[in-house]
Amino acid sequence: MLLVRTALFLGCAIGLMAQSDSAQDDAAPASPDEAYSGPAILSRGQTPGTQSVAPIAFRPYIGVSGDYTSGLVPVAVNSSGQIPLTDAYGVAVNLGAYTHRTGKHTTITLGYTANFQHYPKDSHIDDTNQFLSLTIAHRFSRHVTFTLSNGAGIYSQNSFLPSTQGVLSPNYLQLPQNDIFDGRTIFLSTAGDLTYYMTPRLSFNLGGEGNLVRRSSSALYGVTGATAHGDVQYRFGRNSILGADYRFSNFTYTKGFGGSDIHSVGLNYSAKVTRHVQVSMRVGGARVESLGLAQVQLDPAVAALLGESVSIQAAYSLHYVPDMSASLTDSFRHSHFGLTYSDGVSPGNGVYLASRREGGGASYSYTGIHYWNFAVNATYARMNAIVQTLGAYTSYGAGAGVTRELGKGLHAVLRLDAGHYDVAGNSFLHTQYRASVGLFFSPGDVPLALW
């Protein structure tokens, strides 16, 4: 079964791609035409995996799988006032496609993934999870390039949190991450960037993003966000880039008053350490201004007059937090290894509003054995609410999958995942397991990789 894991698993959706770089002369200047193959720049949302490989032109798939999931968390309580955990057995129809097209002036990357789930004993939790990502880069001239990036989807289980198919970072598009409940969520995010190459080495970028997240449960927050950003980058030869950036973001929420404004500045460095290894990092800080509602204790005399001991008033807060990220990838013809880390401001997860989110992940995929594809990954995330007085939310996850080509486009797929979640310092602890096994049809010359 297809399981899309954001958890910072960059480049795994294109784990079948072959390394196409040739050794470069570090001293030679790069032209604007070569910008697409340079080291990834995190402030522009790029991921190193897509900067150093030759993508598959088109890869569709369709399949059916049997699934078991333990520890589903509904947005509800039982008669004892506790959150009930649900175990579910079911079947799923899975389908999707990935394509990458490069023309003379335009590059298009499109990814779609979906599953339609049915649980015979718990049909009330039947649902669908879908995600679409689209990136279009058009070069108007040798000096000007415009990139439009989009992510949209719907999901009912937080194990199906979106992936951007290795094209853009989920943090860049502010896609939902680290949800607590398994409830229906709808999201849309779009970003546009205009890049001007003043010289073969010096480039400037201006852009903006808008995102919308809505959750079906009235108990959870939705968010509307907008971001404007700009950066300047200087390229040292073909293998190293150094630059600086500034971002302004605004988050407003449903069900409440107020929101958050975030000003962030950072320094960027990216390099191709070797033909196969890329390192990208951003180091900076953010200023977070928030306005919301807070409960305050009334003066005894006022309380006696009004007959109320507490009141609600507008509250302003100011915080300074780190804003940094780093990524390392090692891509060969038959394998891909990735490490990621980030520490910055998140718009929240439906329970937590604007939060400081720290997370990281490691992933590895291998297709070097005839007919086989193997993949493993591990993730970690921790959220601390900036305005709310909530304990930290911590999650750990690990997964493994294997695909076996059976011939004539038919593939057998096995996937195992586990996650442990700690909400507000042991206030709500639970562990979730997920297993799926299925058959998929996907024409191609190499084993199918769904993660």
pLDDT digits (tens, 9 = 90+) for 233-288: 999 877 899 999 999 999 999 987 789 999 999 999 999 888 889 999 999 999 99
> Residue 53 — very low, low, confident or very high, per pLDDT cuts 50/70/90?
very low
Query: What is the per-residue pLDDT across 147-188, written as a single tens digit (0 to 9) for each?
Result: 999 989 998 887 666 554 455 667 778 888 888 998 899 999
pLDDT higher at 65 or 57: 65
Whole-number pLDDT of residue 398: 94
Residue 295 has pLDDT above 90, yes or no: no
Whole-number pLDDT of residue 106: 92
Query: Minimal CA–CA distance to 150: which of 167, 126, 138?
Result: 167
> Residue 389 — very low, low, confident or very high, per pLDDT cuts 50/70/90?
confident
Between 155-159, 302-306, 358-362, 433-437, the lowest mean confidence (pLDDT) is in 302-306
Pairing of strands 428-441, 127-139: unpaired
Whole-number pLDDT of residue 165: 47
pLDDT higher at 37 or 418: 418
Residue 20 has pLDDT above 80, yes or no: no
Residue 25 has pLDDT above 60, yes or no: no
pLDDT higher at 204 or 24: 204
pTM listed for this prediction: 0.81
Residue 195 has pLDDT above 50, yes or no: yes
> Residue 325 — very low, low, confident or very high, per pLDDT cuts 50/70/90?
very high
Whole-number pLDDT of residue 158: 75
pLDDT higher at 412 or 387: 412
Residue 410 has pLDDT above 70, yes or no: yes
Average pLDDT score over residue span 90-99 = 90
Round to whole Å and give the CA distance between 315 and 252.
Answer: 15
Whole-number pLDDT of residue 16: 28
Average pLDDT score over residue span 340-353 = 92
Whole-number pLDDT of residue 49: 54
In percent, the amount of the chain with pLDDT more than 90 equals 45
Whole-number pLDDT of residue 427: 83
CATH number, domain 12-441, options 2.40.160, 2.60.120, 1.10.3470, 2.30.30: 2.40.160
Query: What is the per-residue pLDDT across 137-151, written as a single tens digit (0 to 9) for each?
Result: 999 999 999 999 998
Whole-number pLDDT of residue 342: 93
> Residue 11 — very low, low, confident or very high, per pLDDT cuts 50/70/90?
very low
> Residue 312 — very low, low, confident or very high, per pLDDT cuts 50/70/90?
confident
Whole-number pLDDT of residue 84: 87
Are 49 and 88 contacting, i.e. CB atoms less than 8 angstroms apart?
no
Average pLDDT score over residue span 394-414 = 92
Whole-number pLDDT of residue 413: 93
Whole-number pLDDT of residue 449: 58
Whole-number pLDDT of residue 287: 97
Average pLDDT score over residue span 12-19 = 30
Average pLDDT score over residue span 51-68 = 74
- CB count in 10 Å sphere of residue 33: 12
Which residue type, as a one-letter code, is found at position 367? T
Residue 218 has pLDDT above 60, yes or no: yes
Residue 5 has pLDDT above 90, yes or no: no
Whole-number pLDDT of residue 214: 94
Residue 96 has pLDDT above 70, yes or no: yes
Ordered by start, the domain boundaries in the chain are: 12-441
Whole-number pLDDT of residue 29: 40
Whole-number pLDDT of residue 8: 31
Most distant pair of Cα atoms in the chain: their distance: 82
Average pLDDT score over residue span 291-310 = 75
Whole-number pLDDT of residue 450: 55
